[in-house]
Amino acid sequence: MNKRSFEWIGFILPSVIIVGTFVYAFIAWTVAVSFTNWNTLLPNWSFAGLSNYFSLFTNNLRFRMDLINNFTFLPFFVLGSMVLGFFLASLLNKGVKFESFFRTVFLLPMAISLVVSGTIWVWLYDPTNGAIDVLLKAIRLPTINWLGSMSFALPAIIIATIWQYTGFTTSIYLAGLRGIPQEIIEAAKLDGAHGFRLYWNIIIPMVQSSTVTAFVLMVQLSLQMFDIIWVMTSGGPAFATDMPAVYMFIAAFKQNFVAQGAAIAVIVFLLTLAVVIPYLFIAGKITEEES
């Protein structure tokens, strides 16, 4: 071993220790807690086996609704933010005037805390004097009691989160689009590919790695959705917008069902892993192909 190989250990060690302690050790701790009977304020380390998991899946209306809500939310949020992000990125990539201005405008929602944007959306959705219903009234459409209705509350949250995260997918796609060599586009155009065909056959396949990145990030975000829901509805009305992360917080910190909360956290973690692990393989493959 030469001197250089020790140097990199020195550089990497602090972050390994910090990540190891604050991420992996805590994940392990959470998993351990989920197998105990710690459903009181004081720690109770007696072994409970899988009973915390069983109770969630057998006789728990709330958790069942959480999963249904989460998997209804997921496709709309992920597809919505990705399609819109790709569309906006393509427009920006056309070399519009004031491009950097628009880029900032699109990215701005990302810079706002979810708590702030959640509060703003609550005002917008207000059925008596919120901007959205005032608009609907002006064009003589029936107004909607967005957050107070079982059927519209979840769509309302989907719209708000798409608004929040589209700037993010836009920037991912913009980077991808900028990475396509101009010659390829020119060559395709010479071969007669225009408009939709150019996008479908050339550009979309070329930004595949951006798509995979955006997809994984958006799926992971939607599985862990908490702040904006907590602010906008806190899971209501009647669990219509409740998600596992909200239930986890309530169970662990309000009801003192610490082990049950940990079990929910582990389930969310496993669901996230189910998305991230395939991503690592696909991303690896794409990098290989590209190189």
Question: Looking at 77-85, 171-179, 207-215, 231-239, which segment touches other proteins (CB under 8 A)?
Answer: 231-239
Query: Measured from the CB of residue 256, what is the shortest distance to other proteins in angstroms?
Result: 7
- Distances in whole angstroms, Cα of residue 204 to Cα of each of 80, 83, 168, 214: 16, 11, 18, 13
Give the other-Cβ count within 10 Å of 123's Cβ: 11
Question: Looking at 71-79, 80-88, 103-111, 145-153, which segment touches other proteins (CB under 8 A)?
Answer: 145-153
Question: Looking at 22-30, 66-74, 182-190, 208-216, which segment touches other proteins (CB under 8 A)?
Answer: 22-30
Question: Is 40 a residue that touches other proteins (CB under 8 A)?
Answer: yes
Residue in 162, 207, 248, 263 binding other proteins, rule: CB under 8 A:
248
Question: Is 237 a residue that touches other proteins (CB under 8 A)?
Answer: yes
Size, binding site for other proteins by CB under 8 A: 42
C-alpha to C-alpha distance for 78 and 65, rounded to whole angstroms: 20
Give the other-Cβ count within 10 Å of 255's Cβ: 12
Residue in 234, 280, 284, 285 binding other proteins, rule: CB under 8 A:
234
What letter does residue 180 receive in the DSSP assignment? S
What letter does residue 42 receive in the DSSP assignment? S
Contact 175, 115 (CB under 8 A): no
C-alpha to C-alpha distance for 98 and 92, rounded to whole angstroms: 9
Question: Is 157 a residue that touches other proteins (CB under 8 A)?
Answer: no
| Binding characters for other proteins, 251-270, by CB under 8 A (x = yes) | --xxxxx-------x--x--
Question: Looking at 2-10, 91-99, 103-111, 237-245, which segment touches other proteins (CB under 8 A)?
Answer: 237-245
Give whichever of 155 and 236 is closer to other proteins, judged by the CB atom. 236
C-alpha to C-alpha distance for 201 and 207, rounded to whole angstroms: 11
Cα of 172 vs its chain's centroid, Å: 14
Mapped onto helix, strand or coil, the DSSP state of residue 86 is: helix
Those residues with Cβ within 8 angstroms of residue 119's Cβ, 6 or more apart along the chain or in another chain: 231
How many residues are present in the chain?
291
Residue in 31, 120, 127, 198 binding other proteins, rule: CB under 8 A:
127
C-alpha to C-alpha distance for 112 and 130, rounded to whole angstroms: 20
Query: Measured from the CB of residue 238, what is the shortest distance to other proteins in angstroms?
Result: 4
Side chain identity at residue 10, one-letter code: G
Question: Is 168 a residue that touches other proteins (CB under 8 A)?
Answer: no
Residue in 1, 42, 138, 139 binding other proteins, rule: CB under 8 A:
42
Cα of 286 vs its chain's centroid, Å: 22
Give whichever of 153 and 219 is closer to other proteins, judged by the CB atom. 153
Site for other proteins, residues 56 to 115, rule: CB under 8 A: 61-62
C-alpha to C-alpha distance for 105 and 14, rounded to whole angstroms: 37
Which residue ranges make up the site for other proteins (CB under 8 A)? 22-23, 26-27, 30, 40-42, 61-62, 122, 125-128, 130, 145-148, 150, 153, 224, 226, 232-234, 236-240, 245, 248, 250, 253-257, 265, 268
